[in-house]
Structure 1
Amino acid sequence: MKIVSFNINSIRARLHQLESLISIHQPDVIGFFV
């Protein structure tokens, strides 16, 4: 099981990074810190 945390201020501004992170690491769980 892969768990990834992602620290973001605005998900719209970082959506391209989130998509890249998901495609590269293929996590089972993603935690968002705003």
Structure 2
Amino acid sequence: MMSLSLILYTIFIATILYILLNLRTLLNRHSHPL
């Protein structure tokens, strides 16, 4: 149980970091021409 929750927690954080990085690259790409 403990290891399962730890794996889910790691996947959750990894997903959030991945989304944040993608949003940052999208914002930079959209604001770059300006």
The TM-score, its normalising length taken from structure 1, stands at 0.35
Structure with higher helix content = 2
The TM-score, its normalising length taken from structure 2, stands at 0.35
Could you say which structure has the greater relative contact order, defined with CA pairs below 8 angstroms and 6 or more residues apart? 1
